């Protein structure tokens, strides 16, 4: 199959090897009925590949249905996918066919598959394995011959480890994996995409197309594009409308490229054994440092105590050592207080004949649930209660945010 003809048919722009390889896999798997899982960051164009698979399969004359799993409320997603009987729940005024029944003999594309509730994942697994499902409120088994193509922008293996996604469903969907490369790994395609979008918007708004000089092209290629193709298209449309000059230089392009992508870099901490560890937040790094400090001070306490025991009953030596320990503990307490973290207790005085035990406690709650509630409240306050923008800020779907607000009873 000619890859260039496929690109022209589905308006795919680019010539990188990773993109061509993904198209080639899609075409090879299309004639089969194997399940396909398309992974990649949001905005990379994953929604095009299910259409390629459907159009080059024997099911091309049957229905093709695309479903965004993240946009359907958790309480109704079973009804949407599998249908319901009249009276199955409040508002079920008549029988309704689900997407799996409507797409019989065809293809169903499940976008954002990682957002499916666990109960729905069980139903989906049964459909994939047996081709059978039961409508909500019914006891009748329905057969459906549907080819499933799924897509996700989340790390499904990580979700499996966290218990958010069924491992058996993951392997059932991942029969043939297709990975979409992010735009930053397709540097030679960025300017080609820009030119295509610029021409489209020039025709749409009836104005001359944009042209980029060499400096602007280099800036376009060096940017990380966290929003991928969707962000590039949005930036091109903004420039097409706002800029009066059609020749764009780097100084004109720079204001449209927010420099917040450096925050995507992970924080890396190296411990005393020189083994790299990656932490998800600065808070975890701080706690790691503080706990290591506690261990070091405990070792020092034991060492000096042993020295005091081996030196006999010399009261002068004991007094000097006790003063030294007190000074060290006070220094540690000061450093910890500077970071708003654990404080030292039971610090010995110069008159102590033995070194008392030291306890470290964390005044701030370490409960993940408390932290999650705190971050949700902060995001809602930041965006004046607008849940859509709060969800974007938190990096979760709006439906997930709704569920957590209800679960934690957040006003």
**Domain spans in the chain, listed from the N-terminal domain onward:** 3-181, 184-262, 269-360, 368-408
Between CA 381 and CA 389, with CA 386 as vertex, the angle to 5 degrees is: 95
Q: How far is CA 389 from the centre of its chain?
A: 16
Q: Using CA atoms, how far apart are residues 31 and 176, in angstroms rounded to an integer?
A: 13
Between CA 340 and CA 350, with CA 344 as vertex, the angle to 5 degrees is: 135
Tokens of 390: 């709060």
- Structural fold of domain 3-181: Rossmann fold (3.40.50)
Q: Is residue 301 scored above 80 in pLDDT? A: no
For all residues of the chain together, what is the average pLDDT?
Answer: 82
> What pLDDT is stored for residue 353 in this prediction?
44
Reference 35, options 103, 128, 114, 125; nearest CA is: 128
Q: Using CA atoms, how far apart are residues 20 and 175, in angstroms rounded to an integer?
A: 20
**Higher per-residue pLDDT: 35 or 279:** 35
CATH code reported for the domain at 368-408 = 1.10.10
**Higher per-residue pLDDT: 393 or 323:** 393
CATH code reported for the domain at 184-262 = 1.10.8.60
Q: Name the 3-class secondary structure at 399.
A: helix
Q: Is residue 409 scored above 80 in pLDDT? A: yes
Tokens of 150: 């799924």
- Specify the residue for token string 């499916």: 116
The string of pLDDT tens digits covering residues 90-112 is 888 899 999 999 999 999 999 99
Q: What are the beta bridge partners of residue 211?
A: 247
Edge-to-edge strand list for the sheet holding 176-179 = 64-68, 107-111, 147-152, 36-39, 176-179
- pTM score above 0.85: no
Confidence of residue 405 (pLDDT cuts 50, 70, 90): confident
CA distance readout (Å), 38 to 10, 151, 171: 17, 4, 13
**Higher per-residue pLDDT: 271 or 371:** 371
Q: Using CA atoms, how far apart are residues 137 and 120, in angstroms rounded to an integer?
A: 15
> What pLDDT is stored for residue 385 in this prediction?
84
Write the DSSP assignment of 300-343 as a string of letters. Answer: HHHHHHHHHHHTTT-HHHHHHHHHHHHHHHHHHHHHHHHTT--E
Q: Using CA atoms, how far apart are residues 178 and 38, in angstroms rounded to an integer?
A: 5
The string of pLDDT tens digits covering residues 179-216 is 999 999 999 999 999 999 999 999 999 999 999 999 99
H or E element that contains 408: helix 398-408
Q: Using CA atoms, how far apart are residues 334 and 332, in angstroms rounded to an integer?
A: 5
Reference 119, options 318, 410, 355, 403; nearest CA is: 403
């Amino acid at each position: 199959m000619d890859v260039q003809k496929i690109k022209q048919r589905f308006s795919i722009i680019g010539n990188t090897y990773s993109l061509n390889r993904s198209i080639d896999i899609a075409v090879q798997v299309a004639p089969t009925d194997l399940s396909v899982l398309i992974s990649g960051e949001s905005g990379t164009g994953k929604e095009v590949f299910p259409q390629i698979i459907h159009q080059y399969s024997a099911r091309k004359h049957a229905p093709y249905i695309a479903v965004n799993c993240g946009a359907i409320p958790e309480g109704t997603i079973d009804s949407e996918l599998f249908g319901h009987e009249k009276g199955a729940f409040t508002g079920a005024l008549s029988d309704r066919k689900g997407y799996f029944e409507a797409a019989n003999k065809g293809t169903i594309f499940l976008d954002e598959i990682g957002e499916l509730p666990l109960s729905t994942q069980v139903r989906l697994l049964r459909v994939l394995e047996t081709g059978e499902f039961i409508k909500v409120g019914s006891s009748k088994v329905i057969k459906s011959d549907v080819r499933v193509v799924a897509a996700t922008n989340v790390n499904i293996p990580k979700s499996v480890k966290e218990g958010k996604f069924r491992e058996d469903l993951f392997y059932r969907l991942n029969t043939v994996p297709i990975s979409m490369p992010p735009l930053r790994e397709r540097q030679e395609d960025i300017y080609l995409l820009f030119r295509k979008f610029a021409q489209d918007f020039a025709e749409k708004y009836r104005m001359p197309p944009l042209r980029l000089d060499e400096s602007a092209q280099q800036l376009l290629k060096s940017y990380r594009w966290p929003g991928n193709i969707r962000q590039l298209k949005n930036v091109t449309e903004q420039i097409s409308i706002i800029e009066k000059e059609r020749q764009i230089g780097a100084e004109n392009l720079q204001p449209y490229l927010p420099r917040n992508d450096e925050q995507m870099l992970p924080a890396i901490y190296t411990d005393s054994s020189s083994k790299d560890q990656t932490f998800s937040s600065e808070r975890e790094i701080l706690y790691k440092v503080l706990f290591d400090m506690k261990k070091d001070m405990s070792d020092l306490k034991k060492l000096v105590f042993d020295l005091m025991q081996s030196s006999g009953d010399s009261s002068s030596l004991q007094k000097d050592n006790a003063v030294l320990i007190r000074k060290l503990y006070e220094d540690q307490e000061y450093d910890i207080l500077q970071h708003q973290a654990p404080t030292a207790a039971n610090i010995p005085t110069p008159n102590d004949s033995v070194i008392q035990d030291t306890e470290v406690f964390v005044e701030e709650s370490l409960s993940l649930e408390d932290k999650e509630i705190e971050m949700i409240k902060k995001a809602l306050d930041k965006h004046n209660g607008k849940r859509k923008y709060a969800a974007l800020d938190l990096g979760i779907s709006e439906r997930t945010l709704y569920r957590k607000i209800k679960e934690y009873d957040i006003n």
